[in-house]
Structure 1
Amino acid sequence: MAAEKLTRGRLAQIIVMLTLLVVAFFWRTLVYTPGLTIIDCEGERGFCGTSQSQQAIAFSWRKEQNSVIFSATSDQKPHLAYWGEEGNKQIEISDQQDRDGEKITLTWQWKTQDLPRDAMSFNLVFDQYQFKFNYPKSE
């Protein structure tokens, strides 16, 4: 291909296109919000996570007399924890936090009468991952 002389028109075209590309890149970067991936965790104890998530959690539910105890162990502390029911968020703060090397164990304990009415699940949010733990069924 023969080299062409750089004219004012061609230079203006290059500058306009580069400006558009840079603006589009920064616009997409600034307005991008990753979607929240919901991970359902079944049962009263075990491990929960997906092959795509870098976050894995060991969890357990326990009932003692008139209390319900939930513990979760992971590499990082969740930035939000709440009961989920029809979009309502009742934020819960962990009663206890223990660190064992790289792992953090968070424990929540509620009196049975203090639980939210019709509580169906307890949710922990780590960055873009929401772990949904189903409340154990009454026996």
Structure 2
Amino acid sequence: MLKNIHPLIGPELLSALARMGHGDTLAVVDNNYPAYAAGVPVVRLDGVDVVTAVDAILTLLPIDDFEPEPVARMGVVGDPDAVPPVAREVGDVVERVEGRQVRVRVVERFDFYAEARRASVVVATGETRAYGCFLLTKGVIRL
């Protein structure tokens, strides 16, 4: 047990987050996403929705404030302007935790897969809602 670590952040995820540097990307995806196909390490958070997972992860991971759009989400196939409720909820969590407005980039499905292959790690959640797939770019901690 460690103090002040969110209970959803197990040793494997804690290690993966600690190894990330400024500008590295973390993919947090729904249960339909082919997580292992990305070819990068996968940490499973089965039974946890993506909003709760992102909220827990952001207790440790700062979001980049150098990038104009440090968060990306998978766009709805055939309707890239659509904003599913899960996307709105994750955006709200990011802005609440960061205490600032954070722009979210929409990425076409297959482009999202390509970007996820460059992620440091994929966090596979139990999210059942479609399009619950996000890329978070790690920022720096300013003391």
Q: TM (normalized to structure 2)?
A: 0.26
Point out the structure with max Rg over C-alpha: 1
The structure whose residues are more often helix, as a share, is: 2
The answer to which structure, 1 or 2, has the higher relative contact order (CA under 8 A, 6+ apart) is 2
The structure whose residues are more often strand, as a share, is: 1
Q: TM (normalized to structure 1)?
A: 0.27
